Structure 1
């Protein structure tokens, strides 16, 4: 594992130097250039149908970006046709970063991961929200329908090579940390906000209940 760096303030390139650096990279290979086929083919459709998680990137009108994981049982991400995919919006913390961004800026990018497989599927396009009852019914899990769906019109679609996941050894468990390495998320956020021990304990109980009872519908 690489040694940790001491605190430092790295020198940053100016715009001209950054452009020169990027221009100094080698030419893109013909295969890498051609692999974006702009549609969801049979291979990508099957991959998405088996994937239990994807990462969703959006940005607001000013370009401030957000990336969020979306996890569901296999089959929950719906490929509607070769240029359209739908993702359920499950209960969360109601920050609604993704949905609010899409109200301002419809651009969206997705990366689908499949446990045990080091390649990924990458899509990009524009998104709109849907409350179509037939679609939401098809996305129900344990009888719970999502509040809405994010429907993406695909502009870019391709398979991404395995280098990043091989470097990270994501599926091997080599870098897995034992339980207890970190405090609970409620306690860490409580530390960040300076909450009392009582409030941290209340937060831990709330999170535990949400994880147990609120995965598919909002808690009452």
Structure 2
């Protein structure tokens, strides 16, 4: 392909420069507005990168405010039970850089937070994140370096929060059926679906 963009100069020749506001909006701490956004947010995605250089993104979700703001430069994300692939946590043992994207249902702006992360298993530190008396096995402690709001265009274009754009889950096969198709079978789909359903009901925490 002859039209590949390979440098910052080439990129800027296509897009131009950002506005003064777009540059100035980036701050280095969690101010009152960022704290409020995180307090209202039940969902975020976290990006990480492994030693092989491949990037990864993973969703994290719970009740609004599940991410703890410890101070204006520190966040604590509880790591709830999952499938034990540990993609994000494994990446953090090799590369501590992370990017967070916080979302609030009904709000089309998003909050971006970038920083450095460590895995912590301190019961006292994790105690405020317990649910139903259950502590997470570990948490992700983020040292905040960059904070800024992202404009609403992507969510406005996607109509993400509009009810008439919701997709009926039955439009897609079940999770187990999709995986079976992708890997060529080898397991009982109905049994796997039942395990998934049980996990969603009984092993969220």
The bucket for the TM-score relative to the shorter chain is over 0.9
Cα drift, residue 18 of structure 1? 8.2
Cα 1:136–1:212, aligned 2, differ >3 Å: closer, same or farther? same
TM-score calculated relative to the size of structure 1: 0.88
1:8-47 correspondence runs (5 A) = 11=1, 13-15=3-5, 19-47=9-37
* Superposed counterparts of 1:72-87, under 5 Å: 72-87=62-77
Tell me the number of residue pairs that the alignment of Structure 1 and Structure 2 aligns.
Answer: 205
Contact 2:5–2:11 under 8 Å retained in 1: no
TM-score normalised according to structure 2 size: 0.94
Shift of 1:63: 1.6
Distance 1:161 1:131, change over 3 A: same
Cα distance in 1 for residues equivalent to 2:112 and 2:129 = 21
Say if 2:122 is the partner of 1:104: no
State the secondary structure of the residue aligned to 1:158. Answer: strand
Which aligned segments of 4 or more residues in structure 1 are displaced greater than 2 angstroms? 11-24
Offset, 1:15: 4.9
With over 3 angstroms needed to count, the CA separation of the structure-2 counterparts of 1:80 and 1:184, relative to structure 1, is same
SS state of the match for residue 130, structure 2?
coil
Structure 2: runs of 5+ lacking an equivalent: none
Cα RMSD for the two superposed structures: 1.6
1:130 aligns with 2:115: no
Q: CA deviation at 1:34?
A: 0.5
